[in-house]
Structure 1
Amino acid sequence: MQRVLRNGQLLIGNILRVLLVGLLLASGGLAEALPGWASSDGQSTQVVDHGAWQRFLDTFLHTDAAGQTYLDYARVTPSHRAQLGAYLTELQAIDPLTLNRAEQQAYWLNLYNAATVEVVLGDYPVKSIRAIGGAFGGLVPTGPWSAERVRVNNQMLSLDDIEHGIFRPKFNDYRAHFAFNCGAKGCPNLAAQAFTGLTLEAELNAAARAFINHPRGVRLQDGSLTLSKIFDWYRADFVAEERDLPILLAAFAEPMLRAQLADYNGRISYEYDWSLNEAAPSL
């Protein structure tokens, strides 16, 4: 009888954990502006130096034949990690409100992506970024996004704060979803080039094209359309109705895929790979 009770308790516990994870993931679609981050300086000519981040990417980021990027976490030395930490410290010393809007966007994107890499390195080796942190002392693997990670303008911010509390409500650009990298294989690429205010428009468009034209972003096979779960979690950022997604995606698709999307009016399914975006030994 005791064994039955224990098994029942374990089953109930597992069900509750699954439900909780689902609720936590579902809440990712919300974007509520944090107070104090709305302003920018339209006259500012200040340019943030992201050279250290670019050097890190040049050293450890690899691109496979299909155009997907992977990071060689295993090869990052203590010295390189210290350099990454110094870059993050430099960014946190900047007041982003003194930047123009394009420089601000580049600042937040690079800060988020570099901080995410630092988070993974802190727990590496790990099979999925969702295994880092979590609710109830790590019992429920929900990932590191809600923990405060950086201090900007004397305010502690989490990765969620950066993406959902600052960037999404302030800039209202769905292409940002193709630029933020969460450390998972299902996520859009960790960009090989550090974002800059000067080239931001081209970089966001390139990020959108890279993801939409890769099977993990958009896949039409045997008459069925499968999209990244990103388009489900954040649907309101992209379109008002699900049926409008194919038309939006067609704007960034290569000619053959564009033609298929333009004519598609069937059911849409979604998937996502949470395994770590880690470079294979052969890369």
Structure 2
Amino acid sequence: MGTRFSKSASPYILNQPKTVTASPTSDSEAATTASNILLLAERLEQCMRRLQGCFLSADGKAMDYLGMKNSPQFVEFVNCAVELQQASLTPLSGVSNESLRKAFFINIYNLMTMHALIELSARDTGIPRSMLDVKDFWRSFEYKIGGLTFSLDDIEHGILRGNRPHPRDLWSRCYFNAKDERVPLALSQCDPRIHFCLNCGAQACPRVSVYSGTDTGSLESALNGAAKAFCAENIVLDGTRNEIHLSKIFQWYEQDFGSDRTGMLARVSGWLNDDKEVQLRALMSKEAKVIFVPYDWRVNSTSQAGA
């Protein structure tokens, strides 16, 4: 497949200050929350919920990017995102704040994806038809947060996967090097459920949701809900043919779910309903063939894709 978008000499900072229409957020509120990452995270969650309420499809899988880009809801979000540059990440640091950090960076990842696609829609080329049409999409756009920069890959692999290397990088032991200032923000362990929460803009991606880390129990419930919803839709069991059909996500990140194929399937079985779990384990005992379904990289836009 040809590439219609080239990577710029350096990543584009999406949340750099620019002249925008006044946001409904008051100046005093912005000043109060600009340096407080926890309050800013709550405002971003609110912005995300408003964007979803107006522009997310009923099944939670597609966005109206063209309708969103000139909306007051998007302007409000952009202004809030700009404030991330001045916020301190210290309140999110440390093992005791991992739930907050996990929810924050899941939301930032999904917001950045939307923001980047809208940025592309404003260019002459418009929204791509496929995420693979954009060269190095996941490294070409960044947010600056508290003086540090984060691309989508930085967030997924460096932070949320606990500083594990990109699946394509077979020779590295970690994503960030030991001297990287972002290393302290990496989660201490890789929670494989993040793969059911991150939406990279493709139609095969999980549903877009908002996550809050202020209540660990609520976050756990939301993560389990995302896992069960994704597995219900993306695991197909064929007892007649002795086959297990899985999303490519389980192939790319197999080591996040278990030490081997059997471990991965055993972990996944816990997110299936009782009948389907029994069926999966029966197929596993028969050494069923595992088939990874080709990923649908078409952009999850309800608007007409760029030509």
Partners of 2:104 and 2:211 within 8 A in 1: no
Partners of 2:269 and 2:281 within 8 A in 1: yes
Unaligned runs of 5+ in 1: 1-13, 18-43, 135-142
Unaligned runs of 5+ in 2: 4-35, 122-126, 163-185
* Equivalences for residues 18-167 of structure 1 within 5 A: 46=38, 48-49=41-42, 50-64=45-59, 69-79=61-71, 80-99=73-92, 100-124=97-121, 125-132=127-134, 134=135, 143-167=136-160
Moved beyond 6 Å, runs of 4+:
none
SS in 2 for 1:146: helix
1:46 positional shift: 4.5
The alignment's TM-score, normalised by the length of structure 1, stands at 0.72
Q: Report sequence identity in percent.
A: 28
1:218 positional shift: 1.2
Partners of 2:255 and 2:264 within 8 A in 1: no
Aligned twin of 1:234: 253
Partners of 2:37 and 2:88 within 8 A in 1: no
1:45 positional shift: 11
For the structure 1 residues 223 and 92, does the alpha-carbon distance in structure 2 shift closer, same or farther, using more than 3 Å as the test? farther
Partners of 1:88 and 1:111 within 8 A in 2: no
Partners of 1:84 and 1:114 within 8 A in 2: no
Q: Partners in 1 of 2:85 and 2:111 — Cα distance?
A: 12
For the structure 1 residues 186 and 247, does the alpha-carbon distance in structure 2 shift closer, same or farther, using more than 3 Å as the test? same
SS in 1 for 2:57: strand
Aligned twin of 1:276: 299
Q: Does 1:244 align with 2:239?
A: no
Q: Partners in 1 of 2:268 and 2:290 — Cα distance?
A: 13
- Could you report, residue by residue, the CA deviation over 1:55-78 in whole angstroms, capped at 9, with x for unpaired residues? 1111111233xxx52212232141
Matched residue pairs, number? 226
1:159 positional shift: 0.8
Residue from 185, 202, 219 that aligns with 1:184 = 202
SS in 1 for 2:302: coil
- Could you report, residue by residue, the CA deviation over 1:244-267 in whole angstroms, capped at 9, with x for unpaired residues? 332211101122221211112212
Q: Partners in 2 of 1:98 and 1:110 — Cα distance?
A: 17
Superposition RMSD in Å: 2.5
Q: Partners in 1 of 2:37 and 2:118 — Cα distance?
A: 34
Specify the code of the residue in structure 2 equivalent to 1:75.
G
Partners of 2:257 and 2:264 within 8 A in 1: yes
The alignment's TM-score, normalised by the length of structure 2, stands at 0.67
Q: Partners in 1 of 2:298 and 2:253 — Cα distance?
A: 20
